[in-house]
Amino acid sequence: MNQERWSAVDDYIADLFVSPDGALDQTLAASSATGLPEIAVSPVQGKLLMLLAQAIGAQRILEIGTLGGYSTIWLARALPDDGRLVSLEFNPKHAEVARTNIGEAGLAGKVEVRVGRAQETLPQLVDENPVPFDLIFIDADKPGYPDYLEWSLKLSRPGTLIIADNVVRNGEVVTPDADDPNVQGVRLFNERLAAEPRVSGTILQVVGSKGYDGLALAVVQV
Ligand code: SAH
Ligand code: DHB
Ligand code: MG
């Protein structure tokens, strides 16, 4: 099994289950044209995010790590008319590209992109004492993941679904002495998630057009 086969099967699945979509295609094209890294979730993963949000009837979604807004658009499409998504992004250029893409997708009224390090915008959000989020998608810098879990719990209620991208890292996650801070970040996140009594979670290994990685899923218990 190799990347070529994973990509071919991902294309096969996308051809079956992901309709060609102007706004999403344009989002990837604009992200690429403006030099953003090509690390958005895949189309098949984007659809999974939308379906999960739909399945839990999410009305309020928090995303940590916007990039060009690709996953944002998938998630926001699951929202009802009065639903709301807040997405946190450190890089002002990424946020600007995302806002344009989100606007073109007709979702500007539901989505707010907040610029700043999530380490700062998350405590600000907590200070606003918002209605708890129904779904939280963690996908920013990997060394930040352990802290993002802690902040996410402050913004949750029992039943909140927490999803974290990139928690397997091509399998490197099983290397305890990995010197990659991204691997160490997700290792600590995974350990904390597993040990955290306020959530019940698991990790799904994922292969596809984006390589070999994994998605953590957890539901807040109390
Ligand atoms: N969720 C996006 C991909 C996000 S890529 C998608 O699937 O379409 C990760 C993003 O997190 C990048 O845009 C990066 O600029 C941002 N980021 C990195 N460090 C951050 C931080 N400390 N706070 C907030 N965002 C951060
Ligand atoms: C990286 C980040 C991501 O969010 C992703 O989906 C893939 C790779 C990275 O920083 O390498
Ligand atoms: Mg990711």
Concatenating the DSSP letter of every residue in 146-195 gives HHHHHHHHHT--TT-EEEEE-SSGGGGGG-TT---HHHHHHHHHHHHHHH
State how far the Cα of 7 lies from the Cα of 139, in Å rounded to an integer.
Answer: 22
Q: Which of 220, 53, 82, 48 shows the shortest CA–CA distance to 151?
A: 220
CA angle 178-179-180, nearest 5°? 95
Residues within a 6 A CB radius of ligand 1: 39-41, 65-67, 70-71, 88-91, 94, 117-119, 139-141, 144
pLDDT value of residue 222: 83
pLDDT value of residue 47: 98
**Residue 101 Cα, ligand 1 centroid: separation in angstroms?**
16
Low-confidence ranges of the chain (pLDDT < 70): 1
pLDDT cut 70: percent of the chain above it: 100
3-state secondary structure of 209: coil
Instruction: Name the strand (E) or helix (H) holding 92.
Output: helix 92-104
In contact, 185 and 24? CB cutoff 8 Å: no
Taking the whole predicted model, whether its pTM rises above 0.85 is answered as yes
**Residue 32 Cα, ligand 1 centroid: separation in angstroms?**
15
Q: Which of 39, 100, 112, 38 shows the shortest CA–CA distance to 75?
A: 112
**Residue 66 Cα, ligand 3 centroid: separation in angstroms?**
10
